[in-house]
Chains A and B, each alone.
Chain A
């Protein structure tokens, strides 16, 4: 069965620090990969997605992620975080093509940014 692992449960950073959140997936074939963000009290929003092509994907709010096939990873990065980035971040994966309706989420990483 497919699975998604997020390395950190809770990350605390000061403003302007760089961010990297780890995500590894376990799938037999090709995958679609996603990062979602959930701000306190709000619903999930899509940050970025990877289907194919350039493994470096740019999303909204200055976030980017790199797909490294050999490492089964899709880490999220931001060069300089702001207090407003405080949220919970979820990595998700689905098989490409048939079966792509099934979406598996990681357990999430809470990010706290200290002003």
Chain B
């Protein structure tokens, strides 16, 4: 089954404690991206990746890092999380020939930073 898998689904942690949210897709997609969703603000793109070792900033990259060492994985790293990063996070991937726009979304990761 084609899917984008995020882990963990829920996480409560404290300010300053480094965390990583993993994202994996099994569709051999080249394009992957991360979004955060906040009430009243919709989805905002954090980072995206066009292929292995190729990443770029989206609209709200501050406080986040990403890496793309393998095609299937695109982890989101919060080196020193702060309360303003409490949010719902979605990873997405897309096939070539679709304008590189997200077609498949993960189920989301709800992060609470205390």
List residues of chain A with CB under 8 Å of any chain B CB: 6, 9, 32, 34, 42-46, 49, 51, 90, 92, 94, 96, 100-108
Contacts and interface: CB of A to CB of B under 8 A. Distances in A.
Contacts of A100: 99-101
Interface of B: 31, 33, 35, 40-45, 48, 50, 56, 58-59, 90, 92, 99-103, 105-108
A102 B58 contact: yes
A102 B42 contact: no
Contact of A49 (B50, B90, B99): B99
Nearest to B48: A101
Closest 3 A-B residue pairs measured CB to CB?
Answer: A43-B105, A107-B42, A105-B43
A104 B45 contact: yes
B42 A106 contact: yes
